[in-house]
Amino acid sequence: MPLTIQHDDLLPGRNFIGGQWREAQEGRRFDVTDPATDAVFATVPDSGALDAAAALEAAHAAFASWRAVPAKQRAQILRRWNDLVLAHQDDLGRLISREQGKPLAEGRGEVAYASSYVDWFAGEATRANGDVIPAPVPGRRMFALKEPVGVVAAITPWNFPAAMIARKIAPALAAGCTVVCKPAEDTPLTSLALVRLAEMAGVPSGVLNIVTASRQRAAEVVDVWLDDPRVRKISFTGSTPVGKHLARRSADTLKKLSLELGGNAPFIVFDDADLDAAVDGLMVAKFRNGGQTCVCPNRVFVHSAVHDTFVDKLAARVSALKVGPASDEASQVGPMINARAVEKIERHVNDAVERGAQVVVGGQRLASMGSNYFAPTLLVGVDSSMACSMEETFGPVAPVTRFDDAADVIRAANGTPFGLAAYFYTRDVRRVWRLADALECGLVGINEGALAAEAAPFGGVKESGYGREGSVHGLDEYVHLKYLCQGQV
Ligand SMILES: NC(=O)c1ccc[n+]([C@@H]2O[C@H](COP(=O)([O-])OP(=O)(O)OC[C@H]3O[C@@H](n4cnc5c(N)ncnc54)[C@H](O)[C@@H]3O)[C@@H](O)[C@H]2O)c1
Ligand SMILES: N[C@@H](CC=O)C(=O)O
């Protein structure tokens, strides 16, 4: 099935600054490729410092009027945006699959997921209540108000090109902030399409601005925003090294930060687990988006008593996965995003094998399909010395480690600098609470492999970052509290 878009106006192909679609000021453009074939199928502006500065000017100029728009009206605009997103679900799903490579059902699913955040924050906009505080002394009235922080810079990754940007822009606009954003260079088209729909929904000029840039020029764009005191908040999803760079560089102007960074999720199967449910949960959590998800299990720990049975069941499921381009509706695992991604996966598998792991399924590139395909892979005999245990593989590789002792496996699960998601399967209710307490992470799947939801707080601890997206806490990332104290009452 061709991944063509029915509505060409979803492909503006330019930056959106101050309510106008514009080329980069230096006139440069860069290629967008289809990871299934490596064919170039679009180009977008390769922006630089001038474009970043123009976007910031526009966002700064629009802030005073946007924050004054009543919350109910901001919510109505967000709802109109959401309606348009849903009305274009097929096109947006095809666009995501085309530029990112995920199977079509997942592309469409991501649109619904992105929409759920827009809908959620439309509601939250009208509930940004403050506090009336009982005064500790006579003659005073005390209040805490929530105010929008100001201009927000949103910087997003390629693995969820719609959802990651939606869950930053929606709360920012709901809170009364204005936005400058730079999407990932591999997947700029979906973000441009979402901004086009926001324009159609009536988001006023300057309130939402987007500039695209190649990998080589990403830092030039973002540095303008990092160094300018008018940007009051950075919301970033991406790798831990880039997140640390943003935190260091925004220190001089003390910006508020949300950093959703890399993970290295453990997935633990105890000897009393429902093994079929655990296999189902692992398949969903591990192979969604070809394993290119920050909450994907990266280390699978299985109790010795059930190890062989679990591995047999898992091997049958992994071997049955159908790999192919998104244009084939039967595909369950698509291409990886680019050559760098495949090289990393290959390096991890080779390193594991050299250090004594065994390949049960897969283990190599699928070069006959294209340069970005890697076979769904199951490894056993994995230990903590291997690169695949210490770094996020971000690919369709399930590395299994055997364990015997619960205390040891908790130590191992916590034994990395990261702390985003963790999963475990057990029927023992006391163990459920022990592990839920002991695991050092922001999200825990208990007999469950699919965690994320707009109503839940999403985010990490340790070097997986800080800040939460979604939930009743998500709006707080975009406001500050102002305390008012009235005397002589
Ligand atoms: N915690 C989460 O919610 C979450 C979600 C998705 C992805 N991730 C993580 O993101 C990583 C994969 O995404 P990626 O490869 O796109 O990450 P990345 O950090 O390389 O890129 C993310 C964004 O940062 C920009 N960027 C890159 N270098 C920059 C620089 N020097 N200055 C400013 N901006 C820069 C990129 O252009 C892109 O827009 C994985 O580690 C994954 O776990 C985390
Ligand atoms: N998969 C995460 C995003 C990180 O990759 C989510 O489900 O929100």
Q: What is the per-residue pLDDT for 52?
A: 99
Whole-prediction pTM: 0.97
- Is the C-beta atom of 293 inside 6 A of ligand 2? yes
Query: What SS3 state is found at 273?
Result: coil
| Residue 101, number of CB atoms within 10 A of its CB | 33
CA gap 71, 130 in Å, rounded: 13
Share of the chain above pLDDT 90, in %: 98
Atom of ligand 2 nearest to the CA of 292: 5
Question: Helix 275-287 to helix 304-319 angle, to the nearest 10 degrees?
Answer: 50
User: Please, what sign has the CA dihedral across residues 199, 201, 207, 212?
Assistant: negative
- pLDDT (mean) for 322-335: 96
Ligand nearest to the CA of 263: 1
Enumerate the β-bridge partners of residue 403: 303
Q: Which of 165, 185, 239 to mutate to test the pocket of ligand 1 (most atoms within 8 A of CB)?
A: 239
**Which of the residues are catalytic?**
260
User: Whose CA is closest to atom 1 on ligand 2?
Assistant: 293
pLDDT over threshold 80, residue 228: yes
CB 218 within 8 A of CB 185: yes
User: Whose CA is closest to atom 39 on ligand 1?
Assistant: 184
Buried b (16+ CB within 10 A) or exposed e, 5-23: beeeebbbbbbbbbeeebb
CB 452 within 8 A of CB 421: no
User: Whose CA is closest to atom 30 on ligand 1?
Assistant: 219
CA gap 329, 13 in Å, rounded: 27
Instruction: Note the helical H segments in 185-239.
Output: 188-201, 218-227
Distance 157 CA to ligand 1 centre (A): 5
Enumerate the β-bridge partners of residue 56: none
Distance 11 CA to ligand 1 centre (A): 23
Q: Which of 100, 182, 237 to mutate to test the pocket of ligand 1 (most atoms within 8 A of CB)?
A: 237
Give the chain's end-to-end CA distance (angstroms, integer): 71
pLDDT over threshold 90, residue 37: yes
Distance 210 CA to ligand 1 centre (A): 17
Q: What is the per-residue pLDDT for 1?
A: 65
- Is the C-beta atom of 113 inside 6 A of ligand 2? no
pLDDT tens string 66-106:
999 999 999 999 999 999 999 999 999 999 999 999 999 99
Q: What is the per-residue pLDDT for 124?
A: 98
CA gap 244, 164 in Å, rounded: 19
- Is the C-beta atom of 218 inside 6 A of ligand 1? yes
What residues contact residue 340 under an 8 Å CB cut-off, 6+ apart? Answer: none
- pLDDT (mean) for 413-433: 98
pLDDT tier for residue 107 given thresholds of 50, 70 and 90: very high
pLDDT tier for residue 4 given thresholds of 50, 70 and 90: confident
pLDDT tier for residue 345 given thresholds of 50, 70 and 90: very high
- pLDDT (mean) for 211-240: 98
The DSSP secondary-structure symbol of 374 reads B
CA gap 404, 423 in Å, rounded: 17
The DSSP secondary-structure symbol of 204 reads P
Q: How far is CA 188 from the centre of its chain?
A: 15
Query: What SS3 state is found at 392?
Result: coil
Task: Share the mean pLDDT of the chain.
Answer: 98
pLDDT over threshold 90, residue 2: no
Enumerate the β-bridge partners of residue 380: 358
CA gap 463, 340 in Å, rounded: 22
Q: Which residue is listed with tokens 């034994």?
A: 415
Strand pairing class (141-148; 131-133): antiparallel
Cα angle 28, 168, 33 (rounded to 5 degrees) comes to 35
Q: Which residue is listed with tokens 């997206």?
A: 469
**ipTM value of the model?**
0.94
Q: What is the per-residue pLDDT for 331?
A: 97
The DSSP secondary-structure symbol of 209 reads E
Of 10, 23, 98, 16, the C-alpha closest to 58 is 16
Distance 154 CA to ligand 1 centre (A): 11
In this structure, what token pair is assigned to residue 225?
């925003």
Of 175, 178, 174, the C-alpha closest to 154 is 178
Q: How far is CA 55 from the centre of its chain?
A: 23
CA gap 380, 277 in Å, rounded: 20
Distance 138 CA to ligand 2 centre (A): 50
- pLDDT (mean) for 235-259: 98
Q: Which residue is listed with tokens 């000021």?
A: 25
- pLDDT (mean) for 200-213: 98
CA gap 255, 246 in Å, rounded: 10
pLDDT tens string 354-412:
999 999 999 999 999 999 999 999 999 999 999 999 999 999 999 999 999 999 999 99
Cα angle 404, 410, 414 (rounded to 5 degrees) comes to 140
Q: Which of 100, 294, 423, 448 to mutate to test the pocket of ligand 2 (most atoms within 8 A of CB)?
A: 294
Q: What is the per-residue pLDDT for 405?
A: 98
pLDDT tier for residue 3 given thresholds of 50, 70 and 90: confident
What residues contact residue 217 under an 8 Å CB cut-off, 6+ apart? Answer: 46, 47, 48
In this structure, what token pair is assigned to residue 483?
């305390």
Ligand nearest to the CA of 258: 1
User: Whose CA is closest to atom 6 on ligand 2?
Assistant: 452
Q: Which of 239, 458, 464, 469 to mutate to test the pocket of ligand 2 (most atoms within 8 A of CB)?
A: 458
Distance 239 CA to ligand 1 centre (A): 4
Cα angle 369, 343, 262 (rounded to 5 degrees) comes to 115
User: Whose CA is closest to atom 7 on ligand 2?
Assistant: 452
Instruction: Note the helical H segments in 145-293.
Output: 163-175, 188-201, 218-227, 240-249, 275-287
Q: What is the per-residue pLDDT for 471?
A: 98
